[in-house]
Amino acid sequence: MSEIIELSFSQLAAAYVFVIVLIVIVKAKGIPREKDILLASVRMTLQLMLTGYVLVLVFENPHPAITLLAILLMQTFAVFNIYKRIKSPLSTAMKQIIAFAMISGTALSLFFFILVVIRLNPWYHPQYFIPLGGMIIGNSMTGIALGASNLVDGIHKQRHIIEGSLMLGATPQEAVRSLANGAFDAAILPTINSMLGMGIVFLPGMMTGQILSGVSPTTAIEYQIAIMLGIAGSVTLTVFLMVHLGAKSFFNQQKQLTL
């Protein structure tokens, strides 16, 4: 069977039974999450519907400016989402570093993937560029959010240890090395775990979507391997930039810790 099964309104509505079951369970358990679940479900539905209509227009009118604008908007939302996820206060310098690491790291990884791995022609073809960009940006956003949160929280909690190390003659880099390494490890761990379980424990979304649309499983696997390696590279690059530059932002020119 090569044709995809179109979902009717009633079929799509039936899927919301899972949301109702979730609300019933959390209510029975006394967990005050009913409003959050309902809001998340409605917001997800509206956002995806709007995105679908926008993508139809973009796909029918391919243009490099429109494709780049779409990626820029995705980058912007991702950066502000990272700010919201981090509970600790962020300095202006740290916010700038997060934005720089996110935008530069994902852009470099995406263009390398498009131009060298996929060899897309024309390079701005939105049917490939935007979905691939979304996967790379989304995973990098999660990685930076985890890494930055661990780095900032760790420096605040271990302030006295860091200052003690500085008094004993350690450089700022040496004083925060363990924290920086821990933040980097926490950020890339979800990507590594996802790679470990892929293909045996679960089938990833991109591969599942291609198979459902009638693409050969072997072709879908090739694309999934390529994009997963691209995601791993992007997460690594963006988190490395954020951790390396972010750790430095907590020290002044006199090598003193400033919070």
Q: Sketch the domain layout of the chain as residue ranges.
A: 1-61, 63-248
CA 83-89-93 angle, 5° bins: 75
Interaxial angle between packed helices 34-60 and 17-28, expressed in degrees from 0 to 180 and rounded to the nearest 10: 160
At a CB cut-off of 8 Å and minimum separation 6, what does 61 contact?
Answer: none
> pLDDT by residue (tens digit) across 137-154?
999 999 999 999 999 999
Q: Are 79 and 103 in contact (CB under 8 A)?
A: yes
257: β partners: 251
pTM of the model: 0.84
Question: Does 1 have pLDDT greater than 60?
Answer: no
CA 68-71-72 angle, 5° bins: 85
> pLDDT by residue (tens digit) across 73-101?
999 999 999 999 998 889 999 999 999 99
> pLDDT by residue (tens digit) across 29-65?
999 999 999 999 999 999 999 989 988 988 888 999 9
